[in-house]
Structure 1
Amino acid sequence: MDTRELHRSVRAELRGLPKDLAEIVASHLVVAGQLIDSDPELAYAHAEAARRRAARLPIVREAAAETAYAAEHFDVALSEFRALRRMTGTHDYLPVMADCERALGRPQAALKLAKESHRFELDPAQQAEMRIVEAGARADLGQHPESLRILKAAIESFTDPGENARMAKARLRYAYADMLSHQGKDSEARSWFAAAAKLDQNGETDAASRVDELDGMLIEFDDADDGPEPDDGSATR
């Protein structure tokens, strides 16, 4: 196992362990990273093996949290993200913690974390993720107009010009389109999925496929109106 695949900051953290133990933990972390997309359950097993041996290292707890989340063990993921927050003092994990609460059927707890996040300076991409989770929690509670309001406000206020912000913008538009689609507003949803697809150049979402699906639905009706594209340049802000 080539542990050189690990980032040097990870290797530096592992140097606090005895050499033989560090090599074992590093190997588990490498495999977990390789498998998280293709086999998240096995990735989680490797991350857990690393955690059992080096639970005091934040990088190990992060691997356990992320693989548990990917494998949909949301109770475990939430516990690990909480531990990480205590260990590191960072609030960057609030959006994913809130999403775990949603997945566990606790939208009110997710909203509590969303409210708490306003006290901290999350970066723009994390703020966008929190608004997406917050809107989802409102929808879980049947508060659909409020969920749309939250997402539309986030889209309009997210003006970060950086290239790294492109995906956050795409995800906000995708979430807004998805919410519209669930409410039967397919014409509006199509415009916003198209806006998301334009920003999502690497196809990380299925926005382009959603446009095609809606085109297939809308073409069945002669009087279907695609509706206007998002105006005032919002698709490229």
Structure 2
Amino acid sequence: MPTDADLSRLPRQVRAELRSLSADAAEFVSAHLVAAGDLIDDDPALALRHAQAAKRRGARLPLVREAVAETAYAAEDFAVALTEYRALRRLTGDSAYLPVMADCERALGRPEEALRLVREAKLVEMTQRSRVELVIIEAGSREDLGQAKEGLRVLRSFLGHLSKEVPHEAHARLAYAYAAMLLRHDQPEEAREWFAIADELDTARELDAVDQIELLDGIDLEFDFEDEDEDEDVERQSEAVEGVEGEGVEAEGVEGEVAEAEVAEAEAPEAADEGDDETPDDATAPAPETQQDRTKDDRAAGE
């Protein structure tokens, strides 16, 4: 159990719901819920493990099942997310989970099931934000089934009858989804117009509409680090080759000097032999008087 979780950060209604558990269980579940909430953006997989730990002792609480569902969705574990959203719907009777359930079905490669849930969701009351998400999922499911024209028609129709009550961020997501689908189906000019609309509406800067516009305008701000690495490798190889060649030239110079020295040494004995064969003019002259001879002469003169 996390020991540094600040349980006072839990909303009042959550703490009230946790009172149905024993004190120990409530503390355990609370600590893991706080940890899951702290980690869901940076490490959703770890957040999911905390939520699942909370579920072990609080599975009958809707807030715990919702924590597991949301962290699983964030971690892209759509099978777990779908299971938990279904459980939530059974526990609460709330149809607000239908759009996200449909999205999970689509993510799992089941667009027909996603459309079934979309049709069911259209029969119940929903917020404008949920309606927008539902339309985006419906259009995407049509595209998944190879019905791109129908998907574009669904988005275009909803955009043409959009209520003024739709929040800007939801409107931005709808415009972005339409632009992205237009781009995927070879309509770049119209796609650019809708990316621009999405960017204008996206005051929270949650979308990458600007990046899409720059790509369409031919502005590529990415730096190709792979090419840079290749250039550096070529440069290092060139330097290595030059170094080896330099060492070869230097070695050739040393070898030349050694060869010259060997030739000089070979010629020196020959010169000495030639000097021995020559007889000097004074070869028959008497040997010079040594100090020993002078000493003998001195002794003889004294006698």
Give a deviation string over 1:27-66, Cα, whole Å, max 9, x none.
1111111111110100000000011110000000000001
Matches within 5 A, 1:151-162: 151-161=155-165
In the alignment, the residues of structure 1 paired with residue 205 and residue 46 of structure 2 have an alpha-carbon distance, to the nearest angstrom, of 25
What are structure 1's unaligned runs of at least 5 residues? 219-237
Deviation at residue 217 of structure 1 after TM alignment: 6.2
Residue equivalent to 2:45 = 41
Residue equivalent to 1:67 = 71
3-state SS in 2 of match to 1:128: helix
Out of 107, 117, 121, the residue aligned to residue 121 of structure 2 is: 117
Out of 126, 139, 146, the residue aligned to residue 135 of structure 1 is: 139
In the alignment, the residues of structure 2 paired with residue 95 and residue 140 of structure 1 have an alpha-carbon distance, to the nearest angstrom, of 17
In the alignment, the residues of structure 1 paired with residue 205 and residue 66 of structure 2 have an alpha-carbon distance, to the nearest angstrom, of 26
In the alignment, the residues of structure 1 paired with residue 70 and residue 86 of structure 2 have an alpha-carbon distance, to the nearest angstrom, of 12
**Percent of aligned pairs with the same residue?**
55
Deviation at residue 152 of structure 1 after TM alignment: 1.0
Structure possessing the higher radius of gyration over alpha carbons: 2
- Relative to total residues, which structure has the larger helix share, 1 or 2? 2
In the alignment, the residues of structure 1 paired with residue 213 and residue 11 of structure 2 have an alpha-carbon distance, to the nearest angstrom, of 38
Deviation at residue 19 of structure 1 after TM alignment: 1.5
Deviation at residue 103 of structure 1 after TM alignment: 0.6
Kindly tell me the number of residue pairs found equivalent between the two proteins: 216
- Tell me if 1:94 matches 2:98: yes
Deviation at residue 175 of structure 1 after TM alignment: 0.4
Residue equivalent to 1:228 = none
Deviation at residue 160 of structure 1 after TM alignment: 3.1
TM-score, length basis structure 2: 0.69
Q: Is the 8 A contact 1:64 1:77 kept in 2?
A: yes
In the alignment, the residues of structure 2 paired with residue 181 and residue 12 of structure 1 have an alpha-carbon distance, to the nearest angstrom, of 49
TM-score, length basis structure 1: 0.88
What are structure 2's unaligned runs of at least 5 residues? 221-303
Residue equivalent to 1:104 = 108
Q: Which amino acid aligns with 2:14?
A: V
Residue equivalent to 1:176 = 178
Q: Is the 8 A contact 2:128 2:165 kept in 1?
A: no
Give the structure, 1 or 2, with the largest relative contact order (CA under 8 Å, sep 6 or more). 1
Deviation at residue 206 of structure 1 after TM alignment: 1.2
Misfit runs of 4+, over 3 Å: none
Q: Is the 8 A contact 1:124 1:158 kept in 2?
A: no
